[in-house]
Amino acid sequence: MTVHVSRLTSKVIGDKTTTADQAPAIRVRGLTKSFKDLEVLRGVDLDVARGSIVALLGSNGAGKTTVVRILATLLRADGGSASVNGFDVSAQAADVRASLSLTGQFAAVDEILTGRENLVLVARLRHLGDPGAVADAMLERFSLTDAGGRRVSEYSGGMRRRLDLAMSLVGEPPVIVLDEPTTGLDPQARLEVWQAVRELAAAGASVLLTTQYLDEAEQLADRIAVLHGGRILVAGTLAELKALLPPATVEYVEKQPTLEDVFLALVGDTSAGRGAGADE
Amino acid sequence: MTTRTFRDTTVLLGRSLRHVLRSPDTIITTAIMPIAMLLLFVYVFGGAIRAGSQPYVDYLLPGILLITIASGISYTAFRLFLDLKGGIFERFQSMPIARPSVLWAHVLTSLVANLVSLAVVVGVAVLMGFRSQAGLAAWLAVAGILILFTLALTWLAVIAGLSAKTVDGASAFAYPLIFLPFLSSAFVPTDTMPAPVRAFAEHQPVTSIVDAIRALFAQQPVGGAIWVALAWCAGTLVVAYGLAMLAYRRRIA
């Protein structure tokens, strides 16, 4: 396998849908941010090409959420620049908000409203025509039609996450940012979220997702950027990252089922029908 | 831009009014404490209180109305705190909406909920014998003062909701506000109070507001009290709004 590892910077290599004059979905240069004396970001560079899924990988406290909050115009950077869909996050915040949708770390749904009312609310706030139809389509897409009339406080963690994602997708924003979308979910719910993310990208959206799970990045992302010590240590495709290490030696190992395989087999993996990770 | 703010505020107002409708206990608990005080003071203490020639319920009602508002606005801090904690506040802030509409929706919800509670309390007072010959203009003036007072206290509640660390802290700030009418002319005339208490009572906002509303209900000349009352309400409103905006900016970049 011949892969360029000489320059593992954030240069976009395999851009699928862009024309040359279009700005990347997300472009971050030299981003810095401190909280009091704590330097969280010390010059982050990051690109998300249109139509691609990029995983921002880092341990707890690495600053992933800080990057996300700056991109979503919820936090101001100290230095550097960041643009979303070609709009600068500080100078053109309103355009950024129109282009980007954020799904935060904890499902930001209204517990007192029903699932459908949550979706109608977001559709109204995005000034869409026929909010009811938009909501019904989303419920259908995220297998929540039966639960649509129930209050969210009765939902399971996985359903809440799906509703959260559905709310983020109302109005089809071109850039989607997911902050640790599967943290705290059970394996089935996790597979459902993965499937939803794949569908998003297939439909042409650009996705930036943060995660602390290595397998999640491996499963979903076209490119992976590792955030550590306030900087992007490396960024590239999975193959490029793997090539950083010495070539693999071939070993024969008995394939034991993982506990996840056992668990999913026992509970009859209902989400396998949705095509998510049935081959894992 | 302003039409957008208006439209987004209307949508979000609909949302939080639905919250109120689905937990009507917030309106009932808001009204129940003032009603209990009304009953207690009119039927238990009232007979021993000399507060002029009018029936005691007429004397008492204005202060009770202010207590109703003071206990009602703590729900704004509570709801705002839950929005912040649940992350839906950030969701709204990251969406292409007019940002101030998120706060305004909470403030207007407080106004609507408090007006309903006030109507309930006035209804109970009428059953207990409250009567006023006041004309439409006087009633509108009373409503205006109460609305201004509600807005001023609600913006104080917004500060509490934005800066609280716990849900108890978010609503605890209202207790001193509920207590304030006791140190005023709301329950008894101030002239029997010891000098220092009297000095405080006569120069704190509740006394002037209560006196103004009482004069309007009794169709007596309101004199200077109404201007002092309006100045207190408007001043509190402006300061609270300014501080709420500061707390808001600290919270959101």
SS3 per-residue string spanning A2-32: CCCCCCCCCCCCCCCCCCCCCCCCEEEEEEE
Output the tens digit of pLDDT for each of chain A's 280 residues. 444 433 333 333 333 333 334 788 999 999 999 988 888 899 899 999 998 999 998 888 888 889 999 999 988 889 999 999 999 998 998 899 999 998 887 778 999 999 999 999 999 999 898 999 999 999 998 888 999 999 999 998 888 888 998 998 898 889 999 998 888 778 887 888 888 888 888 888 899 999 888 888 888 899 999 998 888 888 888 888 888 777 767 777 777 888 888 888 888 765 544 444 444 3
pLDDT tens for B118-170 read 999 999 999 988 888 888 999 999 999 999 999 999 999 999 999 888 888 88
Give the pLDDT score at A60.
81
Name the residue facing A113 among B18, B23, B252 (closest C-beta): B18
Enumerate residues 6+ apart whose C-beta is below 8 A from B109: B13, B16, B17, B19, B20, B76, B79
Cβ atoms of A181 and A161 within 8 Å: the answer is yes
Q: What is the CATH code of the structural domain delimited by A26-255? A: 3.40.50.300
Cβ atoms of A71 and A77 within 8 Å: the answer is no
Name the residue facing B253 among A74, A104, A107 (closest C-beta): A74
Q: Which helix (H) or strand (E) holds B234?
A: helix B225-251
Among A35, A110, A178, the residue to mutate for chain B (most B Cβ within 10 A): A110
CA distance A150 to chain B (A): 13
CA distance B16 to chain A (A): 10
Among A90, A101, A113, A124, the residue to mutate for chain B (most B Cβ within 10 A): A124
Bridge partner residues of A179 (DSSP):
A210
pLDDT tens for B16-61 read 999 988 888 887 888 888 999 889 988 888 777 776 777 888 888 9
Distances (CA, A) of A30 to A14, A67, A85, A160, A207: 23, 12, 18, 35, 21
Are A109 and B253 an interchain contact pair (Cβ–Cβ within 8 Å)? no
Residue A204: Cβ within 10 Å count: 12
Distance CA A111, CA A88 (A): 33
Are B86 and A111 an interchain contact pair (Cβ–Cβ within 8 Å)? yes
pLDDT tens for B91-126 read 898 898 888 899 999 999 999 999 999 999 999 999
Distance CA A162, CA B46 (A): 59
Distance CA A65, CA A58 (A): 10
% pLDDT > 70, chain B: 99
Closest-CA residue of chain B to A118: B15
- What is the number of domains present in chain B? 1
pLDDT tens for B204-243 read 888 899 989 998 988 888 777 888 889 999 999 999 999 9
Name the residue facing B94 among A102, A110, A124 (closest C-beta): A102
Instruction: State residue B115 phi and psi, 5-degree precision.
Output: -65, -40
Q: Encoding tokens for residue A148? A: 């649509």
Taking the domains of chain A in order of start, what are their residue ranges? Answer: 26-255
Are A97 and B19 an interchain contact pair (Cβ–Cβ within 8 Å)? no
Are B23 and A112 an interchain contact pair (Cβ–Cβ within 8 Å)? yes
Q: What angle do CA A109, A115, A119 make, to 5 degrees?
A: 75
Give the pLDDT score at A158.
81
Cβ atoms of A210 and A65 within 8 Å: the answer is yes
Give the pLDDT score at A20.
37
Residue ranges of A 51-90 with Cβ closer than 8 A to chain B: 69, 72-76
Cβ atoms of B253 and A76 within 8 Å: the answer is yes
Give the pLDDT score at B144.
94
Name the residue facing A74 among B22, B86, B94 (closest C-beta): B94
Distances (CA, A) of A37 to A33, A65, A76, B163: 10, 18, 16, 22
Q: What angle do CA B181, B199, B153 make, to 5 degrees?
A: 35
Q: Find tokens 């943290």 and name the residue.
A: A183
* DSSP secondary structure string for all residues of A189-211: HHHHHHHHHHHHHHTT-EEEEEE
Cβ atoms of B211 and B181 within 8 Å: the answer is no
Enumerate residues 6+ apart whose C-beta is below 8 A from B236: B152, B153, B156, B205
Distance CA B31, CA B40 (A): 14
Closest-CA residue of chain B to A72: B94
Name the residue facing A94 among B11, B86, B96 (closest C-beta): B96
Cα torsion B80, B83, B86, B91: sign:
negative
Are B15 and A94 an interchain contact pair (Cβ–Cβ within 8 Å)? no
Are B95 and A124 an interchain contact pair (Cβ–Cβ within 8 Å)? no
Pair type for strands A206-211 and A53-57: parallel
Are B96 and A98 an interchain contact pair (Cβ–Cβ within 8 Å)? yes
Residue ranges of A 98-137 with Cβ closer than 8 A to chain B: 98, 100-102, 104-113, 117, 121-122, 124-127
Are B87 and A104 an interchain contact pair (Cβ–Cβ within 8 Å)? yes
Distance CA A76, CA A63 (A): 14
Longest pairwise C-alpha distance within chain A: 59
Give the pLDDT score at A5.
39
Enumerate residues 6+ apart whose C-beta is below 8 A from A177: A68, A71, A72, A100, A101, A102, A103, A207, A208, A209
Give the pLDDT score at A4.
43
Cβ atoms of A104 and A74 within 8 Å: the answer is no
Q: Residue B187 belongs to what domain range?
A: 2-251
Distance CA A229, CA A62 (A): 7
Give the pLDDT score at A248.
66
Q: What angle do CA B88, B14, B241 make, to 5 degrees?
A: 70
Q: Encoding tokens for residue B192? A: 């029997």
Contact residues, chain A, for B253 at CB < 8 Å? 69, 73-76
Cβ atoms of B130 and B122 within 8 Å: the answer is yes
Are A126 and B23 an interchain contact pair (Cβ–Cβ within 8 Å)? no
Are B253 and A124 an interchain contact pair (Cβ–Cβ within 8 Å)? no
Are B7 and A117 an interchain contact pair (Cβ–Cβ within 8 Å)? no
Beta-carbon contacts below 8 Å between A and B: 64
Sheet holding A53-57, edge to edge: A100-103, A175-179, A206-211, A53-57, A223-228, A231-236
Among B10, B79, B94, the residue to mutate for chain A (most A Cβ within 10 A): B94
Strand blocks (E) in A36-148: 38-48, 53-57, 79-84, 87-88, 100-103
Are A73 and B11 an interchain contact pair (Cβ–Cβ within 8 Å)? no
Give the pLDDT score at B146.
95
- Higher-confidence residue: B253 or B189? B189
3-state secondary structure of B49: coil
Give the pLDDT score at B226.
87
Among A125, A170, A175, the residue to mutate for chain B (most B Cβ within 10 A): A125
